[in-house]
Amino acid sequence: MAKRIDVAGLSAYYGPTRAIEDISMTIEPRTVTAFIGPSGCGKSTFLRTLNRMHEVIPGARVEGKVTLDDVDLYGTGVDPVAVRRSIGMVFQRPNPFPTMSIYENVAAGLRLAGVKKRSELDDVVESSLKGANLWKEVENRLKKPGSGLSGGQQQRLCIARAIAVSPDVLLMDEPCSALDPISTTAIEDLISQLKSEFTIVIVTHNMQQAARVSDRTAFFNISGTGTPGRLIEIDDTSRIFANPTEKATEDYITGRFG
């Protein structure tokens, strides 16, 4: 069930260093929102604050508010474990659990949730792998280790693993940066399909990719080394690429700055 994310006045820190400053935005359900910007501008950091993965890093903390359909993710009594269950994540490098088979990788999240019935697991594994466009390729080797797959297949396996627990939102942190063009196309197609069911947020370095897959695009920037990253603007992707409001966005997109 796709949900909406509202962010208000969010800043994130690594120890004393402020990495991103005062970010507010709304991410609509059943859309793909892309984050673009130069390296070190805090896109990934911001993404990780959305499912409370940021605080896994030592000394890291967050100020501000993130709400998922009116529930404050950083509110009192909210369990980060539960937040991450509702907001799944796919990482830059595919990271299937190496000791587990393809089947077990996909079932891992459900097993954690206490699903034991074999038939139920079978169904979800199949539907998730189908949802990740991987089913046909691995149908006959579900018991083989996930690490035996190609990089692109591994990444789709990780997507299957993330959607198997039916999250409300799917965060993707440069999911194609470690992949070849063919695998990238496969993932991009998948993203377009998944958005009918999930709210998707994707960080990408590739502006063509942002233009291809996203409905909305957010541009982040830093004014200099050591300064925190800021959200410059967020708008419909077509507008950002055709007619951005801010000069910095235009400079970045046209390659005059980078």
Partner 1 sequence: MSGIAPTATRPTPRPGGGGSAPALDSGTRRGDAVFSGAVRGAAILLLILMGAIAAFLVYRAQDALSANTANVLTYTGTWAPDDAPPKFGIGALAWGTLVTSLIAIVIAAPVAVGVALFITQYAPRRLAQVLGYIVDLLAAVPSIIYGLWGILFLVPHMQGASQIISDVLGWLPPFEAGVFGRSVFTAGVILAIMILPIIAAISREVFLQTPRDQVEAAYALGATRWEMIKLAVLPYGRSGVGSAIVLGFGRALGETVAVAMVLSTSSIFVTKLLQPGGNTIAANIALQFGSAFSTGQGALIASGLVLFVVTFLVNWLARRITKHGGEARERRGLGALFRIGGRGDNTPMEAEFDATATAALAGSVSSLSDGRPEVRGAFEAKDSVPDVVADEAAGRNRTHRATRGAGLGGGVLAAPSGLRRFRSSLAGGLTVATFALAVIPLASILWLVVSKGSHALNVDFLTHSLRNIDEKQPGGGVYHAIIGTVEQAGLATLMAVPIGLLVAVYLVEYGRGMLARTVTFFVDVMMGLPSIVAGLFILSLWILGLGQKANGFAGALALMILMLPIVIRSSEEMLKLVPDALREASYALGVPKWRTIMKIVLPTALPGIITGVMLGVARVMGETAPILLVVGYINNINVNPFDGNQGQATLPTVIYNTFTSPEHASNDRTWSAALLLILIIMLLNIVARLIAWWKKPGRA
Contact residues toward partner 1 (CB under 8 A) are 1, 51, 53, 55-60, 68-69, 71, 73, 76-86, 88-89, 91, 93, 95-100, 108-110, 112-115, 120, 123-124, 126-128, 158, 161-166, 168
Q: Which is nearer to partner 1, 69 or 189 (CB)?
A: 69
- Per-residue b/e over 199-229, b at no fewer than 16 CB within 10 Å? bbbbbbebbebbbbbbebbbbbbbeeeeebb
Instruction: Report residue 164 CA to chain centroid gap.
Output: 15
Q: Which is nearer to partner 1, 130 or 239 (CB)?
A: 130
Nearest to 177 by CA among 206, 201, 156, 202: 206
| Residue with token string 């190609």 | 150
The partner residues of 23 in beta bridges, in order of sequence, read 10
Residue 185 beta carbon to partner 1: minimum distance, rounded to whole angstroms = 24
Residue 225 beta carbon to partner 1: minimum distance, rounded to whole angstroms = 19
Q: Which is nearer to partner 1, 124 or 211 (CB)?
A: 124
Residue 56 beta carbon to partner 1: minimum distance, rounded to whole angstroms = 6
Q: Which is nearer to partner 1, 71 or 242 (CB)?
A: 71
Q: Which is nearer to partner 1, 55 or 251 (CB)?
A: 55
What is the DSSP secondary-structure string of 50-76?
TTT-GGGSTTEEEEEEEEETTEETTST
Cα-flanking dihedrals φ and ψ of residue 55, to 5°?
-75, -5
